[in-house]
Homo-oligomer: A and B are copies of this chain.
Amino acid sequence: MKHADIPTRADDLFCYGLYTASHAVNRAYAPHLKALGLTYPQYITLTLLWEEDGRQVNTLAQKLGMETSTLTPLVKRLEAMGHVTRSKSALDGRAVEVRLTDAGKALSQQAPAVTACMIGHSGLSVAELEELQALLFKLRDGLQPR
C-alpha cells in the first residue's frame, strides 16, 4: 500500500466505523435488555450458555475473546442475580463450570423477540447482515495473534 493511500481521516479508518457501530448496537440493545435486567455483555454470555450449558469460565472467555479477569466478575453477577451457578469441575479442580438455573434457562424464551426487533431496526437486509458478519469474522480472525 502506497503512503498516499493510507487513510488519515477518521471516517476512512475502519477502526472508527467499528468503534462507533459497536457502541451504537450496544446502546440499541440496552433498553430491551434492561427490561430483562441484563447488560449487553451479560446477554451475550448467556447466549453462549443457552447454546451449551455447563461451560467453563475459560471456554466462555475464549469464545468471547476476553480475559478471565473480565468474565469472573460478570459471571459472579449473573450468579448473584440467580441466572447461573458456579461450581468446581470434578475432573479439574482448577476449572469452574457455569450452569444455567431454571430462571436463566427461562430467559432464553425472550431472546428471539429481542433479536427480531434488533434485526428489524438495523436497516440492513438479511443478506447484508450475513455479509457484514462474514467480514467481521474475517477481520477478527485475521487480527488474531498467531
CB contact between A25 and one of B1, B18, B115 (< 8 Å): that residue: B18
Q: How many residues of A contact B (CB 8 A)?
A: 64
Q: B8 contacts A111, CB within 8 Å?
A: yes
Alpha-carbon separation in the docked complex, A123 to B134 (Å) = 13
CB contact between A132 and one of B65, B122, B132, B143 (< 8 Å): that residue: B132
Q: A123 contacts B138, CB within 8 Å?
A: yes
Query: Contacts A6-B112, A10-B44, A23-B65: A28 and B135 contacting too (C-beta < 8 A)?
Result: no
Contact with B along A1-40 (1 / 0, CB 8 A): 1010111111011111111111111011100000000001
CB contact between A10 and one of B3, B21, B25, B51 (< 8 Å): that residue: B51
State the A residues within 8 Å of B (CB). Answer: 1, 3, 5-10, 12-25, 27-29, 40-41, 44, 47-48, 50-51, 63-66, 108, 111-112, 115-116, 118-124, 126, 128-129, 131-133, 135-144
